[in-house]
Amino acid sequence: MSHILIAGLGDLGTGLATRLCADGHRVSGIRRGADAPPGVDLYRQDLLDGAHLLPPDRVDLLVVIMTPSEYNEQGYLKAYVRAPLNLLDALAARQPLPPVLFVSSTAVFGDLEGDVDETTPPRPTRYNGKVVLAAEQEISARGLATAVRFSGIYGPGRRRLLSKVEKLARGEEALPAATWSNRIHRDDCVGLLHELAGRWLAGDTVPPLVVGTDNHPVSNLEVYAWLAERLGLSLPVPDAPPTGKRIHSRFIAGGGYRLRYPDYRAGYPTVLDDPA
């Protein structure tokens, strides 16, 4: 049995913690709130104030899944740089740092055009991509680490795109230009993190960078039209060539992880059928 510390018990952290507990591992968690999955030892605190509460025994793997409380540059710096580094400093004072599994974002690729994967040099243009890339670099400089760059995450409870399609169909928003859209289902995010965590704990070779996406780039207009039809709405869209980046995961394509939902048609029924 290994001991995993998860910093961030939101949707992904809770899902991962549940699976690791089911595997028989000991799981500790850090979050500001009071809720934790059954079997998880919770060390409730705000890491921005320092990591004052830590498990008393050795941690074998650290998983960092941060969410900014403010969607601006300062909010991202607090969530992705200051909080994780406070935790790493506190943990390093107690033991040799364990491997770190860090949840990042494909925002680090900025406004690149064409095909993008793990071999593509990042070129962030906005504050979010710049801050997350800086966090990747800071964490990897401390020791062994894997950054997982997720593309657009969707799944039950994440209804933003459905609301957008409804507004487009009612004429409340103008139809945007055709762009490539890239996504991954929430369950596959958890599954991919679980796979990588298992490899670290088993002592296997783990790449320093993994892109998490369903390897099915598609025009945003195609997705809007498909969702509108299933919502019983009318949304004619032009047949226009998309621009932007097509994101691929070499790790997933090479068999590193088997997707449960390989494209939006397979995954979005879980959102459409969600009563929330």
- Which residue, chain included where needed, has tokens 């230009």? 177
Structure tokens that stand for 248 in this block: 């691929």
Q: Looking at residue 73, which CATH number applies to its domain?
A: 3.40.50.720
Helices 83-92 and 127-142 cross at an angle (nearest 10°) of 10
Q: Where are the beta strands (DSSP E) in the chain?
A: 3-7, 26-31, 40-44, 61-64, 100-105, 114-116, 145-150, 152-154, 180-181, 183-185, 209-212, 218-219, 245-247
Residue 275 placed within a domain: no
Q: Residue 128: which of 164, 195, 78, 202 has the closest Cα?
A: 78
User: What tokens appear for 157 in the block?
Assistant: 């409870």
How many domains is the chain built from? Answer: 1
Radius of gyration of the chain (CA): 19
3-state secondary structure 199-216: HHHHCCCCCCEEEECCCC
CA distance linking residue 146 with residue 99, whole number of Å: 8
Q: Is residue 120 part of a domain?
A: yes
Cβ neighbors of 93 (< 8 A, separation 6 or more) are none
Q: Is the pTM of this model over 0.95?
A: yes
Within a domain: 228:
no
Q: Per-residue confidence at 275, pLDDT binned at 50, 70, 90?
A: confident
> Which range of residues forms the domain containing residue 36?
3-157+183-215+247-252
Do 7 and 30 meet the contact criterion of CB atoms below 8 Å apart?
yes
Whole-angstrom distance between the N-terminal and C-terminal Cα of the chain?
37
Q: Please check whether residue 108 lies inside any domain of the structure.
A: yes
Rounded average pLDDT over 123-144: 97
Model pLDDT for residues 75-89, shown as the tens digit of each residue: 999 999 999 999 999
Q: Does residue 163 belong to any structural domain of this protein? A: no
The tokens of 81 are what? 């740089």
Place of tokens 């490539």: 180
Q: Tell me the residue length of the chain.
A: 276
Within 8 A by CB and 6+ apart from 225, the residues are 235, 236, 237
Amino acid at 89: D
Residue 212 has pLDDT above 80, yes or no: yes
For residue 129, the surrounding DSSP H or E stretch is helix 127-142
Query: Quick check: is 223 in a domain?
Result: no
In a domain, 74, yes or no: yes
Does residue 25 fall inside a structural domain?
Answer: yes
164-188 per-position pLDDT tens digit: 999 999 999 999 999 999 999 999 9
| Residues ≥6 apart with Cβ < 8 Å to 162 | 227, 231, 271, 272
Task: Give the model confidence (pLDDT) of 51-75 as tens digits.
Answer: 999 999 999 999 999 999 999 999 9
Give pLDDT, residue 276: 61
Contact 40, 9 (CB under 8 A): yes
pLDDT for res 274? 82
For 6-59, the pLDDT digits (tens) are: 999 999 999 999 999 999 999 999 999 999 999 999 999 999 999 999 999 999
